[in-house]
Amino acid sequence: MAAEAPPPSTEQRKLPTPEEFTEVQESAEFGELRRSYRSFAFPLTVAFIIWYLLYVLLSNYAGDFMGAKLFGNINVAFVFGVLQFVTTFLIAWWYSRHAAAKLDPKAEAIKTRMEGGA
Amino acid sequence: MSPSITHVTLAASEASEHRALIITLFVLFVLATLGITIWAGRQTKDAADFYAGGRQFSAFQNGLAVSGDYMSAASFLGIAGAIALFGYDGFLYSIGFLVAWLVALLLVAEPLRNSGRYTMGDVLAYRMRQRPVRTAAGTSTIVVSIFYLLAQMAGAGILVSLLLGITSDAGKILIVALVGVLMIVYVSIGGMKGTTWVQMVKAVLLIGGTILITFLVLLKFNFNISDLLGSAAENSGKGDAFLEPGLQYGADGTTKLDFISLGIALVLGTAGLPHILIRFYTVPNAKAARKSVNWAIGIIGGFYLMTIALGFGAAALISQDEIIASNPSGNTAAPLLALHLGGVDSAWGAILLATISAVAFATILAVVAGLTLASSSSFAHDIYANVIRKGKATEKEEMRAARWATVLIGVVSIALGTLARDLNVAGLVALAFAVAASANLPTILYSLFWKRFTTQGALWSIYGGLVVAVGLVLFSPVVSGDPKAMFPDVDFAWFPLKNPGIISIPFGFAMGWLGTVLSKEEPDAKKYAELEVRSLTGTGAH
């Protein structure tokens, strides 16, 4: 079996020291990255969980409203359900766009400096 | 006419006529995946290959594999069946499964990829005392995976007995054993590389089969969704109520509360499922992990949208009596629909039925492989290498341990699956989500984002969430005191809800907080600095 393969090449990457990590963590640049991430991801998480729970509660306790027909056999409940799909796709797209534009460049800069400068 | 009896025999005889075709397609799938596994096994040289597939899969490949891991028989057969019987409430169920991915995308996938190596325990134990936290992480990983595995194994037995007309005990045991042996082979030889490829093949087959059936259903209704819904409502005999929430969960205050509990567990559980978490290690970096979650959201979302057509299509084209006669929970609605779409007595119907049945087997097989890999990885990496050997095991020893753990977990699952083959285990997947959300998610989030979090907090949160979630299930109507319970003849159920999430998830979070504020040890600030910088920037990521 593959367990008999030659010993793996242990990659020896230079890791920054604990002091360097603490220094970076306290830097303004990293603070900016953290804020940029948290202020986007945290409220958005709370928002989509509330939006989902609202949907669950409406389904449970607002039967008449959810059963109201909009056109043909399509009722409010069906539209709300499909809307959950749409918002999920949109939030995923929105977060990814934010991450690519605002987070990746900052993260990349810090990473390159820490790994290269060590 | 006595519909239930005639239809049972009808379904059974149809099934046995198509038996040869179903078996042929299934054997083809097994041979192809075994070929892949052997090929992948030859390429598996070090621990990063075995645990993480060499971290060289592309975001799209991993997105497919994540979807393959996630779309279990419960979602394919279960949701289609739930819609076919309960209409809108079945659809409601699928939404929680999808929205949950946003938690994984926004909070978990990237930091996990950046700061861990092979398992969930890597991240949880990062700044804690290694041995107790890894033991806890390994324990909850194995418990969650076994819950999930049992549901899949028993599902395989039920499915086979229905579709192949095998009803004898010996036949069912044989099927469970066969599934178990195959999964041991996939995982122990192919490791993560082999398992990932098996997931991709399965995902493509499942999506392909679903697109085909969806297209055929929509074609019957001239692509008019309103007509489809109308026919489903009419044919179900329940009228407009079939298109509104409430048929499954709306009976009384308790069932409504149960639905809220289930909803919370689904949304928060996904990002704590060990077999999903380890998938993020198979790509080169956090950016690729993010993209693979995006692919997964697209694929899984599209799939659940199609289950609407599958479920309502089955309700519109097949009588409720026939669906229930074939399986009381509606689990065979999708294969039955395939048969009806092709024409009950035609060759085309036989081919469609066989195809969809083979896809369902492939689904079960791939998911059990993913689960087995997650639990044997955690056993070997967290418990064996870091707890028992205190981090002194060589890579070779660790991989050997992982392979033996695979065999062990496989044998245990075969034994449990055999014992559980006649129990009603349909609810077990939702319970696995509840345990994951109660025991794993709080610790993951606290570890990543809360500076003060301590070892004691982690332990209280994992064990507290785990014990309360499993304990409440034990005393719930899932296990006893209900005609549909695992043990219907006894009654020790004092907890009224089938899903413990509404209690156990807040409890898990609360225990993490309480354990932390009450602990005497100081949090390791340096280690947190390292974890935080690594998790957000990918510095030093493996």
Residue B97 is predicted with a pLDDT of 93
Write the DSSP string, B67-132.
Answer: HHHHS-HIIIIIIHHHHHHHTHHHHHHHHHHHHHHHHIIIIIHHHHHHH-SSSHHHHHTTTS-HHH
User: What does the angle CA B278 – CA B282 – CA B287 come to, to the nearest 5 degrees?
Assistant: 100
Q: Tell whether A117 is within 8 A of chain B (Cβ).
A: no
Residue B542 is predicted with a pLDDT of 80
Q: Tell whether A54 is within 8 A of chain B (Cβ).
A: no
Question: Could you tell me which chain A residue has the CA closest to the CA of B538?
Answer: A111
Instruction: Give the mutation candidate from A9, A12, A59, A71 for the B interface (greatest B CB count, under 10 A).
Output: A59
Q: How many CA atoms within 13 Å lie on the side-chain side of B387?
A: 20
Beta bridge partners of B480: B487
Taking a contact as any Cβ pair under 8 Å apart, which residues of chain A between 10 and 29 contact chain B? 13, 15-16, 18, 21-22, 24-26
Contact residues for B66 (Cβ-Cβ < 8 A; gap 6+): B199, B276, B279, B292, B293, B295, B296
Instruction: Give the mutation candidate from B106, B231, B260 for the A interface (greatest A CB count, under 10 A).
Output: B106
Residues of B within 8 A of A81 (CB-CB) are 88, 91-92, 95
- The domains located in chain B, with CATH, are 3-421 (1.20.1730)
Instruction: Give the mutation candidate from B224, B242, B533 for the A interface (greatest A CB count, under 10 A).
Output: B533
Three-state DSSP state, B523: coil
Q: Which of B98, B249, B527 sits opposite A85 (nearest CB)?
A: B98
Are B539 and A67 inside 8 Å of each other by CB?
no
For residue A71, what is the enclosing H or E element? strand A69-71
Q: Tell whether B250 is within 8 A of chain A (Cβ).
A: yes
Mean confidence (pLDDT) of chain A: 88
Residue B6 is predicted with a pLDDT of 35
Q: Tell whether B301 is within 8 A of chain A (Cβ).
A: yes
CA distance A75 to B44: 53
Q: Give A39→chain B minimum CA distance, Å.
A: 12
Among A92, A98, A87, A97, residue whose Cα is nearest residue A50:
A87
Q: How far is CA B46 from the centre of its chain?
A: 28
Are B45 and A6 inside 8 Å of each other by CB?
yes
Q: Tell whether B396 is within 8 A of chain A (Cβ).
A: yes
Residues of A within 8 A of B244 (CB-CB) are 63, 66-67, 75, 77
pLDDT block averages, 10 residues each, chain B of length 542: 37 60 87 94 92 95 96 84 93 92 97 94 92 96 90 77 76 86 93 94 94 96 95 94 90 91 95 96 96 98 95 96 86 89 86 86 89 94 92 91 94 87 71 94 97 96 97 90 84 92 97 96 92 94 84
Give the torsion through C-alpha atoms of B172, B176, B179, B184, to 10 deg: -150
Contact predicate B121/B143, CB 8 Å = no
Residue B332 is predicted with a pLDDT of 85
CA distance B142 to B371: 9
Q: pLDDT tens, A61-109?
A: 998 999 999 999 999 999 999 999 999 999 999 999 999 999 999 999 9
CA distance B62 to B320: 39
Residue B405 is predicted with a pLDDT of 94
CA distance B146 to B431: 11
Residue A13 is predicted with a pLDDT of 55
B333 CB neighbour count, 10 Å cutoff = 30
Phi/psi of residue B126, nearest 5 degrees: -50, -50
User: Would the pTM of this model clear 0.80, i.e. be above it?
Assistant: yes
Contact residues for B329 (Cβ-Cβ < 8 A; gap 6+): B78, B81, B82, B85, B426
Q: What pairing do the DSSP bridges indicate for beta strands A69-71 and A74-75?
A: antiparallel
Q: Would you state the structure tokens that stand for residue A51, as one six-digit string?
A: 């939006």
Looking at chain B, how many residues does it have?
542
Question: Could you tell me which chain B residue has the CA closest to the CA of A43?
Answer: B106
Contact predicate B497/B427, CB 8 Å = no
Residue B12 is predicted with a pLDDT of 46
Q: pLDDT tens, B329-382?
A: 888 899 899 989 998 888 888 888 888 888 888 888 899 999 999 999 999 999
Taking a contact as any Cβ pair under 8 Å apart, which residues of chain B between 415 and 474 contact chain A? 449
Residue B17 is predicted with a pLDDT of 63
User: Exposed (0-12), middle (13-18) or buried (19+): which is B517, by Cβ within 10 Å?
Assistant: exposed
